């Protein structure tokens, strides 16, 4: 479904902003900001996909890049079923450390801006690969957590879910009272299927949406990385916000080379000035 007031013959090319002098960059970003404001104004539905980058300004490490977790730790030893079966203690120590990290941080201006953004649309879906719960903490609604939630626990064998306040001792991992299986974090590990209801809903919203934002994700982990491509194929306007270019940047109608915690609040301010919600 395409946005209203868009010229269908318009060339849809990405607009990288790596210009040399500062003022053309500022001017360029300003023009792009206004075009994105217009896109928000003219579209009735929006899907936002977020990745680790949106939480980076809160102090949560990303997975890839120079400071990324997967540069320091091996995912196959910490985030797979095989790792948990062979060494559940080390896996639980890793998740307890990550729970502590995300437990000590707060949503940043990017998370809050997305909570406000939903007001400009009849249909708004926030799809996140993050397990940190920061979108919910910022007050966003209608969130699809593709990769689970780091605070939740479930049984390895029967999938029974357990309360979030369950404290796990990695030296003495509790067993499921229903089947005796080990308790594990309720996140999606490498090689595991995503919850079919959640991923199907994310795809159906992406197929129908008029506007799609991809924010703070390296856009390489599927099926999440297929969502913006699906939306674009169905005619949505695609906006990417990421200081680094990704495989998606060349497909985006607008590639914004900026931190989400800086660009998104600016977008909201501009929207409030030019076209308040409702």
For residue 210, the minimal CB distance to ligand APR (Å) is: 23
For residue 185, the minimal CB distance to ligand APR (Å) is: 12
Give whole-number Cα distances, 20 to 23, 25, 46, 211, 252, in Å: 9, 8, 33, 30, 22
**How far is residue 259's CA from residue 256's CA, in Å, rounded to a whole number?**
9
Q: Which residues contact 118 (CB under 8 A, 6 or more apart)?
A: 46, 124, 126, 140, 141, 142
Q: Which residue has the tokens 């913006």?
A: 228
Task: Mark the segment that binds ligand APR (CB under 6 A) among 154-162, 174-182, 212-220, 267-275.
Answer: 212-220
- By CB under 6 A, tell whether 235 contacts ligand APR: no
**8 Å CB contact between 148 and 187:** yes
**8 Å CB contact between 125 and 213:** no
DSSP-derived pairing of the beta strands 211-215 and 161-162:
unpaired
For residue 35, the minimal CB distance to ligand APR (Å) is: 19
**How far is residue 102's CA from residue 187's CA, in Å, rounded to a whole number?**
14
Task: Mark the segment that binds ligand APR (CB under 6 A) among 82-90, 91-99, 171-179, 239-247.
Answer: 239-247
Q: How many residues does this entry show for the chain?
A: 278
Instruction: Confirm whether 178 is a catalytic residue.
Output: no
Query: Of the candidates 129, 153, 214, 230, which one interacts with ligand APR according to CB under 6 A?
Result: 129
Catalytic residue among 135, 147, 160, 178: 147
Q: Residue with the closest Cβ to ligand APR?
A: 53
User: Between 44 and 203, whose beta carbon lies closer to ligand APR?
Assistant: 203
3-state DSSP assignment of residue 231: helix
Task: Mark the segment that binds ligand APR (CB under 6 A) among 80-88, 137-145, 157-165, 215-223.
Answer: 215-223
- By CB under 6 A, tell whether 221 contacts ligand APR: yes
Which residues here bind ligand APR, judged by CB under 6 A? Answer: 51-53, 56-57, 62-65, 68, 129, 147, 216-218, 221, 241-244, 246, 259-261
What are the residue numbers of the active site?
A: 147
């Amino acid at each position: 479904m395409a946005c209203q007031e868009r010229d269908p013959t318009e060339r849809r090319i990405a607009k990288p902003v790596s210009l040399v002098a500062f003022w053309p960059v500022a001017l360029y970003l300003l023009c792009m900001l206004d075009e994105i404001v217009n896109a928000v104004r003219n579209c009735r539905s929006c899907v936002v996909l977020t990745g680790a980058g949106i939480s980076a300004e809160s102090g949560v490490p990303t997975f890839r890049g120079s400071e990324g977790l997967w540069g320091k730790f091996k995912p196959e030893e910490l985030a797979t079923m095989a790792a948990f079966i062979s060494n559940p203690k080390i896996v639980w120590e890793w998740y307890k450390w990550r729970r502590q990290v995300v437990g000590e941080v707060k949503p940043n201006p990017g998370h809050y801006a997305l909570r406000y953004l939903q007001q400009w649309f009849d249909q708004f879906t926030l799809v996140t690969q993050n397990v940190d719960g920061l979108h919910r903490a910022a007050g966003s609604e209608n969130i699809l957590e593709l990769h689970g939630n780091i605070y939740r626990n479930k049984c390895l064998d029967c999938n029974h879910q357990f309360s979030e306040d369950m404290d796990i001792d990695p030296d003495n991992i509790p067993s499921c009272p229903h089947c005796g299986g080990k308790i594990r974090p309720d996140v999606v590990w490498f090689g595991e299927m995503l919850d079919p209801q959640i991923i199907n809903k994310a795809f159906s919203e992406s197929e129908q949406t008029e506007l799609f934002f991809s924010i703070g994700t390296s856009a390489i982990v599927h099926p999440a990385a297929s969502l913006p491509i699906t939306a674009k194929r169905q005619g949505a306007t695609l906006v990417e916000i990421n200081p680094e270019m990704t495989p998606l940047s060349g497909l985006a109608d607008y590639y914004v080379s900026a931190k989400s915690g800086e660009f998104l609040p600016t977008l909201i301010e501009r929207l409030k000035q030019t076209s308040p919600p409702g």
